[in-house]
Chains A and B, each alone.
Chain A
Amino acid sequence: MNIQASHSTGVFDVEPGRAPVLSFQGVSKSFSHENRSTPAIETINLDIARGEFVAFLGPSGCGKTTLLNLAAGLIKPDNGAVLRDGEPLRGPNTRVGYLTQSDALLPWRTVIANVTLPLEIRRIPRVERQARAMAMLERVGLGAFARHLPGQLSGGMRKRAALARTLVYDPKTLLLDEPFSALDAQARLAMQRQLRELVDELGLTVLLVTHDLNEAIALADRIVVFSKRPARVLEDIDIRHDPSILRQRRTSLDGSLHDRLWSLLENELEAGALR
């Protein structure tokens, strides 16, 4: 099976001396609101190795999106540094694909014109960008909807169109912010499978923010659990499994991991409620 085949090729191993794709080094970030500054994240230290699939779990509002925005270079840390391939990040990180909580499709462009947009900006010739966008749309099952406007698609289809746009320029790193939360259970499973296949096939590094424990366990190699705001790392769990275990069955096999994560998050929620 394709999934396991590439899972066992060892693309996850960091080559010695090779800098992590992304590295948060003592990063903190506060937001000021009405002259009061509230910390969103506090002294985060995290290294993301090439080819790793990392899931971020944490209570709502703890600062997960803020972390992704930092990794994307859309905001600057107050303290510490975000390194990309060992170099401090200055300005927007054009090497990542970022699928945000909102799909951000431009409503006046057709689906395919939305998908070609990153290529257009990168000055890829028209014929090539049409071909690449179409191929990516076929992959996410939207080939027949290329000429539709985003307003004519369902929420799930819009998400898939946004995913196609994110992947079309071959970023080696993906930042995914609750990409499947708006989907129904069926569509979510299909998308999860598709994502994992793509990731394995293309050898991508992924940061996935999710509220869904099962999703984190099923997809990720590593799960980072954050505290309530300001976010600190509570747990950093490597869940890479023996490749002989079917990934799809991991969820049911790993009830204990599920329980452990659940109680971690539950404690955080209670702590938050008491404040």
Chain B
Amino acid sequence: MSAIVASPSFHVSPSLRLGIGRFLLLAAVLAVWQFAPAYTLIDSLISRPTLVAERIFQWIANGLLIRESIATLSSVIFGLFFGGVAGSFLGLVAGFWRPVGAIVEPWLTGLFALPKSAFIPLFILWFGISGRQHVLFVATVVFFFFFFAMFNGARNVPASWRNLLALSGANAFQSIRILYIPASFGWLLAAMRLAIPHAFVAAISIEVIASRDGLGHLVKTSSAVLDATGTVAAVAWLVALSTTLGATSIKLAESARWNK
């Protein structure tokens, strides 16, 4: 007979344990929120989870949430696309041709430090309050992340790799395609991680200030009538949306990466 007492094998994988832990934390916060004493200001300030959930379902049912989400998502996605393409392209150019980089880099560093939301009124003045102007604003915000990612990626390509291409007689386009773009991939991934949440913040900010649709508009109209349930519902939905989009796009990008 074995000396070891056979314990019931109840093995929980680390990732499952982590998931359970995170869920319990969320549940605890929701429970406190739900059952906090009624004499606090909670009801009028941040409502209750059940009410928020009810409101979200209601909004989904009547199509409002979907409509506003599509408006916000389209600003975010098109903004990420145009800002990403422009930023990556210029970053690559500036990183590849060092003299160009030396000229533009300090200016872009300066512009990067500007608080972009402070310019929303100017944006409105210039471009009106159309959806196109939302895309433009999001694109401006995310441009910098992609610019600096590709700029640094290109500048950090090791000399040994550059020499390898030079000795094969590679022209600029070949070097960029074969070496600079793949070598900057990790930098681009890092830029995406930062750019996606910032794109949401940018889209929402401009919707709050000047818009007739979008989730930011929903947040604003709810809070304007002191509708705590509506405000929290809109914000909660927004967080869920941006986290999901961020996580899936990072996953997608990472699956294309060589060193997983």
Hey, which bits of chain A sit against chain B, CB under 8 A? 72, 74, 92-94, 96, 98, 100, 102, 104, 106-108, 117-118, 120-122, 149, 151, 169
Contact = CB atoms under 8 A, between A and B. Distances in A.
B165 A108 contact: no
Nearest to B170: A121
A92 B160 contact: no
B178 A104 contact: no
B179 A98 contact: no
Given A72-B167, A94-B168, A122-B169, A108 B182 contact: yes
By size class, the interface of chain B is 10 to 19
Given A92-B169, A121-B169, A121-B174, A104 B163 contact: yes
A122 B168 contact: yes
Interface string B164-190: 111111100010001100110100000
B78 to A, nearest CB: 29
B161 interface: yes
B168 A108 contact: no
Given A107-B259, A108-B182, A121-B174, 20 more contacts: A72-B167, A74-B166, A92-B163, A94-B167, A94-B168, A98-B167, A100-B163, A102-B160, A106-B182, A106-B183, A108-B183, A108-B185, A108-B258, A108-B259, A117-B168, A118-B168, A121-B165, A121-B168, A149-B258, A151-B259
A119 B247 CA distance: 39
* Residue with the highest number of chain A CB atoms closer than 10 Å, among B160, B165, B167: B167
Contacts of B158: 104
A154 B165 CA distance: 24
Contact of B164 (A104, A107, A122, A149): A104
A92 B166 contact: yes
Contacts of B164: 104, 117
Nearest to A121: B168
Nearest to B161: A104
A129 to B, nearest CB: 12
Contact of A106 (B161, B163, B170): B161
Q: 5 smallest A-B Cβ distances: which pairs? A: A108-B258, A104-B160, A121-B168, A92-B166, A94-B169
A117 B178 contact: yes
Considering residues B158, B168, B185, which has the most beta carbons from chain A within 10 angstroms of its beta carbon? B168
Determine the main DSSP class of B at the interface with A. Answer: helix
A94 B158 CA distance: 19
A120 B178 CA distance: 10
A163 to B, nearest CB: 13
8 contacts: A94-B167, A96-B167, A98-B163, A100-B160, A104-B161, A117-B168, A121-B174, A151-B259
A63 to B, nearest CB: 18
Contacts of B163: 72, 74, 92, 98, 100, 104
Contacts of B166: 74, 92
Interface of B: 158, 160-161, 163-170, 174, 178-179, 182-183, 185, 258-259
| Among B169, B183, B259: residue with most chain A CB under 10 A | B169
Contacts of B169: 92, 94, 121-122
A225 to B, nearest CB: 27
Contacts of B160: 100, 102, 104
Nearest to B179: A106
A260 to B, nearest CB: 35
Contacts of B170: 121
B161 A93 contact: no
A100 B161 CA distance: 11
Contacts of A94: 167-169
A151 B166 CA distance: 23
A5 to B, nearest CB: 32
Contacts of A149: 258
Contacts of B179: 106
Nearest to B160: A104
A120 B165 CA distance: 11
Nearest to B169: A94
Nearest to B175: A121
A169 B259 contact: no
Nearest to A150: B258
Contacts of A93: 167
A36 B169 CA distance: 33
A118 B161 CA distance: 12
B173 to A, nearest CB: 11
Contacts of B258: 107-108, 149
A92 B171 CA distance: 12
A26 to B, nearest CB: 25
